[in-house]
Chain A
Amino acid sequence: MDARPPSHAPDPFRAGRNAGWKLVDASRLDGDRSLDADVVIVGTGAGGGTAAEILAAAGLSVVMIEEGPLATSTDFHMRESEAYPQLYQESAARKTRDHAINILQGRCVGGGTTVNWTSSFRTPAATLEHWASEYRLAGLGESDLAPWFERMERRLGIADWPVPPNANNAALRRGGEALGIKVEPIRRNVRGCWNIGYCGTGCPTNAKQSMLVTTIPAALEHGATLVTRARALAVAHAGRRATELSCAALDARGTDPTARRISVRARTFIASAGAIGTPALLLRSGVPDPYGVIGKRTFLHPTVVSAALLPERVDGFSGAPQSIYSDQFLAAEPSGPMGYKLEVPPIHPVLAAITLPGHGAGHARWMEQLPHMQVILALLRDGFHPASAGGTVSVRADGTPLLDYPLNDYLWDGARRAFATMAQTQFAAGAQAVMPVHASRPTYAAWSEARAGLAALPLAPLVAPVFSAHVMGGCAIGADPRRSAVDPTGRYHHLDNLYVIDGSLFPTSIGANPQLSIYAFAAKLASALASSL
């Protein structure tokens, strides 16, 4: 089917620049700057972007601070060589302390929403029930959040995706159905999507309804200021009040601070720097933390990967990257053995090459079969069991964040079952060969062989590579200051005008791609905040 619209949606920043939007690229500053605002928001991803629109629309003066660049559809050329260094934290090579987990995390205007694969799920009921019972979180149940989900779904065009899945997703559906595994379509936040498959390098047609093309332009239209290439260093505070945010300008490459400083005085401070950046900002700020909760219980949906070769072409680089999923292996009661969600990734050359293990002729032979490659991901649901305490964010000597996330037997047990499920599904979909992504590069020709091999496969850090594209937790929301960083309104327990609005709020992982959860929480908390200011 070829129902492409005749042209793509225009780059909103092209017109906005002419309309006088207040845009400051800190890498080009020739002196220090100080700004005043009602509200300063650190970070422009799902949390910060959503909050910015709501607060600016309420008539408040808003300053947005973004560490990454302002890159728009005009700059998006669908090249991995440009996108990873430009749009991702640490060139898409951010690692946990022991390097065992590679984290894909956005770092640009729009944050993760600019580079994510558009999968949109409401927070699963089982997750909300777990929070209500284990963390005594009141007022955040399914029915409390439903209007906020509806609101953000409307705002961001989140809807069923009527186009047939690409062959990579279709293989997950076919394999699942053959095995009696329930598979379902994924809703996506797109309008007029061309089904090209390059969501991860920045949507070139502005179809993806990221913060970059929705809430941030709206906030700018309301008079907000956007400062890019500025790293929030610390929030100064006195008594129970945050007083001033200090930021360092970064160089044009966006990696190293320059001598230029930006300070923002504000009535209200919102940390929306993501579940690694927000705890790091609070730690650098030395805010009171009597129970040592900041940066603890950080979750990743640790992800293991299985590659397969199908006889037919898959062309996993083409078409909406994620349109089919299965929650068959996420038990309704999440506190048992580790469950996992099945999805597939886009299969582009660099992503495939760095993920496939080993080197030399064996690696080259797999790469030569890229058009026939089918890949399944298992996202492990972390944070629901006592043995799944997640990771801890700290700051290095240079102030940058570092996440320590130990991998333990509880997790490896889930990973082993996930490898088996993925291989079985791939064979059921017609795979001729299946290779779990693992340093020993085992290649299986049949499910029986895979079943035996996977049962004996040694699983350890940097032997079975683990990936993450979802960082959550570290500044949990809750009523009890001994177990949470912010109260149920998102306000930091120990400062009256400091809020957290991003994925760090979650007491556990979500158990689904988190963007819609962040949108709904952000809309709810920011709306309450707007009416209180």
Chain B
Amino acid sequence: MRQDLIASRFRSSRRTFLKAGVAGSAALLLLRQVHAGAAAPEASRDVLPSGARAVFAAIVPILLDGALPAGSECPVAVAQTLAAIEAAIAGLPPAARAELAELFSLLGFAPTRCLVAGVWSPWPAASAESVGAFLDRWRDSRFALLRSAYEALHQIVFAAWYAQPRAWPAIGYPGPPSIPSS
């Protein structure tokens, strides 16, 4: 039954995304032209561009819904996860960082954010529903490019959260054993 639900959503989102995909590709091309003209060097690889930070701040609570702690611990956990994401991206090779920079340009540029991600408000103002819908659409998109972008966000965020010892009690992972030194 669940499969049918997914299949029907696949079909309806396919129609939307056929249009959005074509428009989005055009926008992406345009964006690349703009970027090629202003190829600024990376400011600092240790600091995420503010656009990327805003996207992660919006998607982390949605991707990790049900995993993040409740109450006052939640903002701390989100902040630590964002810091871990920043460090992880800084540790990637230049080609992978460049691919991510392209993705965040796309998500940070209002016209492509609306057309390709379907998020109509700037990221800090976007509702949980619209961010969730964006992630669902990219995950289930008929376009491999959008599925791969979802997969990249998925991998970065889940690795950043579950690498932290604070995530372990909830999943019954005791952490590594202690090894007496030789």
Contacts and interface: CB of A to CB of B under 8 A. Distances in A.
A7 B163 contact: no
Interface in A54-85: 77-81, 84-85
A365 B171 CA distance: 9
B79 interface: no
Nearest to B163: A81
B172 A368 contact: yes
B135 interface: yes
A205 interface: yes
Interface in B137-182: 139-140, 144, 147-148, 151-152, 154-155, 158-159, 161-164, 167-168, 170-173, 176-177, 179-182
A contact residues, range: 35 or more
A358 B144 contact: no
B6 interface: yes
A353 to B, nearest CB: 4
Interface centre among B93, B139, B144, B161 (most CB of A within 10 A): B93
B88 interface: yes
B66 A360 contact: yes
Interface string A326-362: 0000000000000000000000111011100011111
Nearest to B63: A359
| Consensus secondary structure, chain B interface | helix
A91 B182 CA distance: 29
Given A81-B84, A99-B152, A442-B3, A353 B161 contact: yes
A400 B93 contact: yes
B66 A253 contact: no
Interface centre among A84, A93, A348, A353 (most CB of B within 10 A): A353
B177 A370 contact: no
Nearest to A352: B162
A368 B66 CA distance: 10
Contact of A360 (B91, B95, B132, B168): B132
Nearest to B92: A91
A354 B171 contact: no
A87 to B, nearest CB: 12
Interface string B80-103: 000010001011111110000000
B34 to A, nearest CB: 20
A353 B94 contact: no
Contact of B147 (A317, A352, A463): A463
B57 interface: no
B164 to A, nearest CB: 7
Contact of B144 (A10, A100, A348, A443): A100
B3 A453 contact: yes
B67 interface: yes
A413 interface: no
Contact of B88 (A85, A348, A358): A85
Interface in A89-137: 90-91, 93, 98-100, 102
Interface in A1-34: 7-11
A205 B177 CA distance: 12
Contacts of A78: 176-177, 179
Contacts of A100: 144, 148
B173 A359 contact: no
Interface of B: 2-3, 6, 62-67, 84, 88, 90-96, 132, 135, 139-140, 144, 147-148, 151-152, 154-155, 158-159, 161-164, 167-168, 170-173, 176-177, 179-182
Closest 8 CB pairs of A and B: A364-B66, A78-B176, A81-B163, A361-B66, A99-B148, A462-B147, A353-B158, A349-B162
Interface of A: 7-11, 77-81, 84-85, 90-91, 93, 98-100, 102, 194, 196, 198, 204-205, 253, 255-256, 317, 348-350, 352-354, 358-365, 367-371, 396, 398, 400, 402, 439-443, 453, 456, 460-463, 465
